[in-house]
Amino acid sequence: MGKGPGLYTDVGKKARDLLYKDYQTDHKFTVTTYTSNGVAITSTGTKKGELLLADISTELKNKNITTNVKIDTKSNLFTTITVDEPAPGLKTIFSFIVPDQRSGKVELQYQHEYAGISTSIGLTANPLVNFSGVVGNNCVSVGTDLSFDTASGNFIKLNAGLNFTHSDLIASLTLNDKGDTLNASYYHIVSLLSNTAVGAELTHSFSSKENTLTIGTQHALDPLTTVKARVNNYGKASALIQHEWRPKSLFTISGEVDTRAIEKSAKVGLALALKP
C-alpha cells in the first residue's frame, strides 16, 4: 500500500475498476510496437455497431519527460507532454488538441504523505479552472473536486468525497452533480491468492429519486485468466473473461444481457491487445 491519500480520482477507483473496467459491447483491436530508439507506436480500431473508429498514437520517453501524440479518424491531433517529478512529488502535464484552439491546458499534480492536489487551467482568455484536493493518509482521506468557468463566473462542477481504506476493504462516499447525486461504493478483497474480490456501488439521485445498485465480483482462474461478473437492480447482467496469452497481451470477451427482456439478443464485446 503506497503512502499518502493519492489524488481525488483515486476515491472509489478500486470499486469502479471492478464494476466497469474492461466491460464493453464493441469490438476493439489494439497493436503496440516499439522502434529501435524506444518510440512506442499504438494502433487502435474500434467497431461500434456500423461505425468504425481508429487512431494511431506514438509515445516517446526521454528521462522524466513523456510525449504522447495521437491522431484519430476525424483528423484531430492530440498532444500530451508529461514532466514527471521536476521537483519531489510534482508532475506537470501540458495538453492540446489541433485544430481546437480552446483545448490547451496546463495541469499540476502534487502528492505528499498527507495530501494530494491536482489543479489545471485552460490556455484561453476565459479559461476553465479545475482544482481537486485530498487530505488524510493511506487509511482515511477527504477531498473535493471543483471546476470554475471564468467566462460565466459559475462553478460547473462541485463534488466532495470521503475514502476509508483498510487492509482488505475500501469504502467511499461521494457527493456529485452539485449535491444532487450521492454515490457510495465498497470494495473487498476476499483472497489475494486467487485475486478474488467483491464490490458494490449505490447511486441515489435526489432530483429524480432514482436509485441504482450495482454489485460485482472478480476471480482469477489461474495466474493468466480472470473472470468478472456484475448485475444491477435494473436487471442488466454482464460477465467477462480475460486471458493474458503472452506478457501484456490480453484477449477479453464480455457479454451483457437484460434479464427483464430475455427475448432480446445478448450484447457481446471482444477486445484484443497485442504488445511485443
Q: Can you give the CATH number for the domain in which 133 is found?
A: 2.40.160.10
Please name the amino acid found at residue 165.
T
- Decide if 87 is inside a domain: yes
State the pLDDT confidence band at 67, using cuts at 50, 70 and 90.
very high
What pLDDT, in 10s, does the model give residues 139-159? 999 999 999 999 999 999 999
Phi-psi region of 248 (alpha: psi -120 to 50; beta: other; left: phi over 0): left
| 37: CB partners within 8 A, 6+ apart | none
Kindly report the backbone phi and psi dihedral angles of residue 195, in degrees, each rounded to the nearest multiple of 5, phi listed first. Answer: 50, 40
247 assigned to some structural domain: yes
**What is the DSSP track for 76-136?**
-EEEEEEEE-SSTTEEEEEEEEES-TT--EEEEEEEETTEEEEEEEESSSS-EEEEEEEEE
- 268 close to 255: Cβ distance less than 8 angstroms: yes
**pLDDT for the residue numbered 102:** 85
The parent domain of residue 137 ranges over 8-274
Identify the pLDDT of residue 131: 98
Chain centroid, CA 188 distance in Å: 19
Q: Which of 14, 12, 16, 19 is nearest to 215 (CA)?
A: 19
Look at residue 15 and give its three-state secondary structure.
helix
For residue 270, pLDDT over 70 is answered with: yes
* Bridge partners for 215 per DSSP: 200, 231
Residue 72 lies in a domain: yes
Whether 52 shows a pLDDT value over 60: the answer reads yes
83 falls within a domain = yes
pTM: 0.90
What does the pLDDT average to over 223-250?
96
Residue 267 falls inside a structural domain: yes
Residue 3 lies in a domain: no
Residue 86 vs residue 253, higher pLDDT:
253
- Domain-embedded: residue 165: yes
pLDDT at 1: 40
pLDDT digits (tens, 9 = 90+) for 69-110: 999 998 999 999 999 998 899 999 999 999 888 899 999 999
**In contact, 132 and 7? CB cutoff 8 Å:** yes
Average pLDDT estimate for 219-236: 97
**% of the chain beyond a pLDDT of 90:** 89
How many domains does the structure of the chain reveal?
1
Domain membership of residue 42 (yes or no) is yes
Question: Per-residue DSSP letters for 220-245?
Answer: EEETTEEEEEEEETTSEEEEEEEEEE
The pair phi, psi for residue 227, each rounded to 5°, is -115, 145
Note the pLDDT of residue 182: 98
Across the chain, mean pLDDT equals 95
Contact 161, 27 (CB under 8 A): no
What CA–CA distance (Å, rounded) separates 262 from 249?
A: 34
